[in-house]
Chain A
Amino acid sequence: MRASQLMRSARTEPEVGFRTDAASPGPLALLREGLGDIASRRPLIRWLVEADMKKRGSDTALGNLWWVMDPLLQMVVYVIFVTIITSRKIPEYPLFIFAAILPWKWFNAAVIDATKSLLEADRLIKRIQFPKIVLPLAATTAGVIGFAFGLIPLAGIMLFYPDRISPLVLLIPVIALVQFVFTVAIALLVAAGNVFFRDLGNVAGHVLRLWWYLSPGLYSLAVLDQSGVFAHHKVLRFLVGANPFAILLEAYRSVIYGSTDGPPHLPDFASLGVLLVASLAFVGFATIVFKRLEPSFAKVL
């Protein structure tokens, strides 16, 4: 039994308490422990998410209305700029772009919040023994709720484009699930990394911006194919397509928007499936890394 199991319920185990020693357990034990931490501390994650929600809305005049306004305003900015600088016209561009802004904003916020999650709880980490994994996880989960709120303006925009409305939007939660798993893995790694290298927080913002422009958010993969950039660079085309957010954003777009000349269609389930499996493995790896570094957090912070 290890320190992380310290606060287990007294009713289920004959002996409460913990043992710690200098030796670190193996990867599989760490993974099991990490999953156990999450399972046993679900209420804590819930309170953390709730507190986060409340704080976000509490000090602005419009409060939680900003969750609806934020993606809308961002969409307006992109629509204005992209229409000005490109001659290529994508029909019903606001919806086209909004389908990508919404999931990306979630990912972006989750990663940024996760990098800060452990540092902001430094006093707590140094004073109380609890599974630190709940902190980045709560940051990621809070993002899901922001995403859910973003579906309200999405519904509003879709009313302007009745041709694009289809029952396929019911697949959004399925795609969101894949994104959630992938996001958790990234969140765990950046949260743990930022404890040791504080500059990671600054780097993350720039990497995320670059990632956004390299992902088919403002454009579609089909546009790139037409432009001939990839005609002679098959490897490049593969890399662009293998970007998890190329798969995710294209999938969201296919169910919300469809294609430039057609109504919504089924997403590429094969790619989504591969991404899900890869993300699950990635989460396992990230959990092991996180648990491995966890005992050092209190020392370094």
Chain B
Amino acid sequence: MTTQPATTESVAVPPPFERARPEDYAMLAEDVGVEYDLRFNRKTPIRQSLSAALTRKPPERFWALRHVSLRLEHGESLAVIGPNGAGKSTLLQVLGGIIRPSEGRVHARGRVSGLLTLDVGFDRQLTGRENTRLGCAFLGLENRVTRELMPSIIEYAELGDFIDAPLKTYSSGMRARLGFAIATSVDPDILLLDEVLATGDANFREKSKQRVLELVEAAKGVVLVTHDMQWVLEYCNRAILIENGTMIMEGDPESVVELHRERTAEARARAQERALAAGADERTLLVR
């Protein structure tokens, strides 16, 4: 990751917002930037944090995301693609209201549900039912609604009597199904998905795919982070490419995926050249 996002490489500049039909969007992000202060990072020990604070050393800052604007229409399925560490997950966190942007604004209309990983917040000692109750409460559902939803969640997750067994007895597939069932039970207007479609067996993948497609069809917006280009091409009607925290391109899935593939190939070739120039053994490069 570099500290300076490559703004000059922008291929397509997203159009300014709130000009055309400001009422229609499901979600709007305007010039969003997320800056991390590396002094207060998990990896920074207290000695450094304190001494940095005391000596008033200039803060080490890092923009994980900068100048990103996007507009999600109702019924749209937007794919976010890009290499690892590009800022895709950070973008999803900002859109979910989990991180407050350091600059810019986000406006979501409707209930946003992040489904960023499946077994989040699960406690292995509690039963499936207790975890469901807790999970729904975290998502902001009222007790009454949770009670009503419980049977359908159990059914969707195909848990049967296991619902009253501690979660530590579950297989990873069962946990994934339960997590997915809870996250989609809130009936979100906007669904944020981070690489969740790759989990579980073929059966579950098919099922979750169906559910996501249902949500998309029910005029709900979906923002999806994925490396599964096949899904992007098949089910998304728009895609954005993010690299080094900046938006490189926004457009129809075909051209964005195409550009992503080209740039990945180029980057790989560049890395290989650099490595060879630095005197690396050609055999070690084969693994890349």
Contacts and interface: CB of A to CB of B under 8 A. Distances in A.
A22 B120 contact: no
A221 to B, nearest CB: 36
B140 interface: yes
Given A20-B100, A128-B120, A196-B40, A7 B140 contact: yes
Contacts of A209: none
Interface string A26-66: 00000000000000010110011011001100110000000
Interface stretch (A9-17, A229-237, A240-248): A9-17
B105 A19 contact: yes
B98 A47 contact: no
Contact of B104 (A22, A43, A50, A125): A22
Interface in B167-211: 189
A223 to B, nearest CB: 39
Interface residues of B, number: 46
A199 interface: yes
A22 B63 CA distance: 14
Interface stretch (A67-75, A157-165, A271-279, A292-300): A292-300
A124 B120 contact: yes
A269 interface: no
Interface in B82-99: 93-94, 96-99
Interface stretch (B106-114, B148-156, B250-258, B262-270): B106-114
Given A43-B142, A43-B143, A126 B126 contact: no
A282 to B, nearest CB: 24
A76 B134 CA distance: 38
Contacts of B138: 44, 124, 128, 130
B106 A21 contact: yes
B3 interface: no
B51 interface: no
B42 A301 contact: yes
A21 B105 contact: yes
Interface in A198-251: 198-199
Contacts of A105: none
B101 A20 contact: yes
B133 interface: yes
Q: Most chain-B Cβ atoms within 10 A of its Cβ — which of A47, A51, A300?
A: A47
A17 B111 contact: yes
A130 B140 contact: yes
B103 interface: yes
Interface residues of A, number: 45
Interface string A161-205: 000000000000000000000000000000000001111000000
A6 interface: yes
B213 interface: no
A121 interface: yes
A19 B106 contact: yes
A44 B138 CA distance: 6
Contacts of A59: 125
Contacts of A20: 94, 97, 100-101, 105-106
B100 A295 contact: yes
A48 B41 contact: no
B4 interface: no
A262 B126 CA distance: 49
A82 interface: no
B32 to A, nearest CB: 9
Contact of B139 (A7, A15, A48, A299): A7
Given A295-B99, A299-B37, 18 more contacts: A6-B112, A15-B109, A18-B97, A20-B97, A21-B100, A21-B105, A22-B103, A22-B104, A41-B137, A50-B130, A59-B125, A126-B98, A127-B98, A127-B114, A128-B98, A130-B139, A198-B46, A298-B99
Interface of A: 3, 6-10, 15-22, 24, 41, 43-44, 47-48, 50-51, 54-55, 58-59, 121, 123-130, 196-199, 295-296, 298-301
